[in-house]
């Protein structure tokens, strides 16, 4: 399971010209679910996300987590995070989980983040053609793979 975290001033998801979700300051999280991912991966990444200290404290040092700053979270499914570009120029998505696996894990991830955060988490719409808009803050962008915990 992989997440790409972007610290944002604001972010939104629009589908077919209709606003689906939006947040103010906080985290936009793109989530890719692999075919071999389990609830252990959900737990690891949800906990890591909520505890990640990437917001500035009073001294301007990234020392606060999203809970401490009252930030919001928007989670968007993105199977392309599992792309393999080892061979040729056309990415392979063979490592991405099929919808029957990835959709429930996406929902569990968002629910677990909300539980740890203590407030609602906004989401995109799984499988939809979404337009994601954001205003990066920093920019701060961090990639975490649950299978690469020693990096």
Q: Which of the residues 80, 85, 123, 126 is marked catalytic?
A: 80
Q: Which of the residues 6, 55, 72, 79 is marked catalytic?
A: 79
Count of C-beta atoms within a 10 Å radius of residue 32: 23
Please name every residue paired with 99 in a beta bridge, in sequence order, or none if there are none.
none
Least Cα distance to 76 among 12, 136, 137, 16 occurs for: 12
Q: 79 catalytic, yes or no?
A: yes
User: 58: which residues sit within 8 A by CB, 6+ positions away?
Assistant: none
SS3 110: helix
Q: 141 catalytic, yes or no?
A: no
> 52 — alpha (psi -120 to 50), left (phi > 0) or beta?
beta
Q: Which of the residues 55, 78, 109, 123 is marked catalytic?
A: 78
Q: 78 catalytic, yes or no?
A: yes
CA 117 – CA 144 distance, rounded (Å): 19
Residue positions annotated with a catalytic role: 78-80
């Amino acid at each position: 399971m992989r997440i790409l975290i972007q610290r944002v001033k604001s972010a939104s998801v629009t589908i077919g010209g209709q606003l689906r979700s939006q947040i103010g300051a906080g985290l936009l999280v793109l989530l890719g679910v692999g075919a071999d991912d389990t609830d252990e991966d959900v737990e690891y990444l949800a906990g890591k996300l909520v505890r990640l200290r990437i917001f500035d404290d009073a001294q301007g040092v990234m020392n606060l987590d999203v809970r401490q700053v009252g930030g919001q979270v928007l989670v968007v499914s993105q199977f392309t995070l599992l792309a393999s570009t080892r061979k040729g120029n056309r990415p392979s998505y063979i490592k991405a989980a099929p919808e029957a696996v990835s959709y429930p894990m996406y929902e569990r991830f968002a629910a677990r983040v909300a539980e740890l955060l203590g407030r609602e988490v906004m989401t995109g719409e799984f499988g939809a053609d979404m337009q994601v808009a954001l205003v990066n803050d920093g920019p701060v962008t961090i990639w975490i793979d649950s299978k690469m915990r020693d990096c």
